[in-house]
Structure 1
């Protein structure tokens, strides 16, 4: 009897091993989700997983259909609805199978009078990695939008995802905190159907968290040829960080036809909302080590914000305005004023139609930026100004490609001209811009 009791206790104490499930374009949701009998949909896989499990997505194209819409939420048709949560030490993973490329294609998903969300995520502790979403549609003529990913959960990771060649915003967050958007690409997205086809809501990445949605970070992402903005955090109630991200050619279609707003990094703003609708305190966003190139309007833009933000070691090249810190007064919706309360360090700009706008002397904390130092760049300061490098393939680990574009030559006037603000650097002092020479 004692031996049986001891055996029962040992079995109870044995850790539960995580399980793997599989999804494939030629799978079936009547299968068991094994490697040899994969499911057909991620939605079915979610019904089988528990915290700590991994769903492997096999390579190939998943031609999504309206019959696969999992749920209508608000005014959205949510094709895949992920509401099952993992745990802090046991994420639920949805990963591309190693060495394969899963592509989810939505050209046939056109529900009448509904926005489309390809992946609508309300769960927590979910990790999505390594697959593509393309051809997400917009079918409403008036003011509207669709999204490749909409996040409403917490502690989620979106990694090495590619959102492209559709009509939808690439990634969109309006609720949830402590989410990491890592090494993702959003490109060639243009809504040519609603609001006269300007694509005025189609950003690469949007982060607009409600109150409590703190600590959302975009790191190592690229956004290009999106018809509106590269990165947008208008009307946010909490601060966002953009770290080592690139934005280029936004506000244009792939043929450089003018479309929507066309800002690289739109860091805040409350449109024309009355003061009673502005959060207290107003969030201060951080944009650091980012690159903005040939965006139609502004490279780095405060967008009528009601306080300043933090701008560290950014590089702007060939934007209409490289750095525009335009703010507004809190209670007067029409009172745009030169920027105030911004902190700017070690920023570098070159060849903007206008280099800077709305950076008021005495109302901002600025030092060791190219405009403070009265330094004017030339091609000779840079190893390369070849913009084709911006779309080079990512490295094997998903990180940004190694390029020489806008990297400083060793003898550039911008080397060692920065201020030490706590980041690693080579030489006597930090360089200006997003690329540290010698590293």
Structure 2
């Protein structure tokens, strides 16, 4: 009988799962009941990062205008636009509120690379957790493909629950596909009720996923296609809750998703 072998990437993924901080197992909600968010004990902030270099601080607000200069008093209107105005050392603060994302490219957060001494930072306003609500089958909320020295913090990413049917479809929370990325920090993100992966990652080196809650994603909390540039390397997942994968898909309970997904942690055979 032929025995399937696990690839190095899968063995590495298994070691990550075994060393993650223990998380209390969520209890299934009663039929028709809205699930309560899982509480995760906070982990220490990521360490080993270079000190932030002086840079500009810009702002986005639901009542802003992209013709504004992006100051606190005259903020921009859309996080996608704001993310593309940044330079190494800059910080974009997304003020509390709800932001609807519907147009590919224009509405997707797509920051440039920072440097080792001047990271790019995108974060939600302290004391608030801004909501990025995707719709109209938007590909992703945050695209970090091919970038380096970027951190994203304190955001909620979900589908637009003010619409129904195909208008509410929304595919992924965070994407790193095609071009490899490095030195990425994803912290205090709540990603839920989207159709595919919470984070769809192909090739990355030095990735920290810290204090994130990812649940009710149709294809899984974390995943991605086979790597073309080394796959996942030097990845830390700490203080996170990854649960209820496959229990949501395109507005339903996941029973009509394209293929079965493990609820917690799964291993699949590969060629390597």
Judge same fold: TM > 0.5, yes or no. yes
Retained in 2: the 8 A contact 1:155–1:178?
yes
Shift of 1:55: 0.5
Give the distance between the partners of 1:42 and 1:180, measured in 2 at CA.
22
Q: Shift of residue 263 of structure 1?
A: 4.5
Q: TM-score, structure 2 length as denominator?
A: 0.66
Please report the RMSD computed on the Cα atoms of aligned residues, expressed in angstroms: 3.0
Q: 1:48 to 1:257 in 2, by over 3 A?
A: closer
**1:352-392 CA-partner distances (Å, limit 9, x unpaired):** xxxxxxxxxxxxxxxxxxxxxxxxxxxxxxxxxxxxxxxxx
Give the structure 2 partner of residue 226 of structure 1. Answer: 245
Q: Does 2:215 match 1:187?
A: yes
Secondary structure at the residue paired with 2:84? helix
1:35 corresponds to which of 62, 72, 78: 72
1:166 CA displacement: 2.4
User: Which residue of the partner structure matches residue 266 of structure 2?
Assistant: 266
Aligned partners of 1:138 and 1:167 also within 8 Å: no
Counterpart-to-counterpart distance in 2, 1:154 and 1:125: 7
Query: What is residue 223 of structure 2 aligned with on the other side?
Result: 206
Q: Computing the radius of gyration over CA atoms, which structure comes out larger, 1 or 2?
A: 1
Could you tell me the TM-score, scaled by structure 1's length?
Answer: 0.42
Residues 30 and 173 (structure 1), Cα distance of their counterparts in 2 relative to 1, 3 Å cut: same
Contact 1:171–1:206 (CA under 8 A) maintained in structure 2: yes
**By how many angstroms is 1:104 displaced?**
0.6
Gaps of 5+ in 1: 1-15, 72-78, 140-144, 191-201, 229-249, 271-277, 280-439
Match of 2:32 in 1: none
1:255 Cα deviation after fit: 7.4
How do 1:282-321 residues align onto structure 2 when only pairs under 5 Å count?
A: none
Structure 2: 5+ residue runs without aligned partners?
Answer: 1-52
Closer, same or farther: CA 225–36 of 1 in aligned 2, 3 Å: same
Q: How many Å apart are 1:56 and its aligned residue?
A: 0.4
1:48 CA displacement: 2.5
Say which SS state the counterpart of residue 265 (structure 1) adopts.
coil
More strand by share: 2
Go from structure 1 to structure 2 and tell me whether the alpha carbon gap of 1:268 and 1:87 turns closer, same or farther (over 3 Å shift): farther
Asked if 1 retains the 8 angstrom alpha-carbon contact of 2:114 and 2:120, the reply is yes
| Distance in 2 separating the partners of 1:267 and 1:161 | 25
Output the CA distance in 2 between the equivalents of 1:80 and 1:255. Answer: 26
Tell which has more relative contact order, 1 or 2 (C-alpha 8 A, sep 6+).
Answer: 2
Count of aligned positions? 205
Relative distance call for 1:83 and 1:37 in structure 2 (3 A) is closer
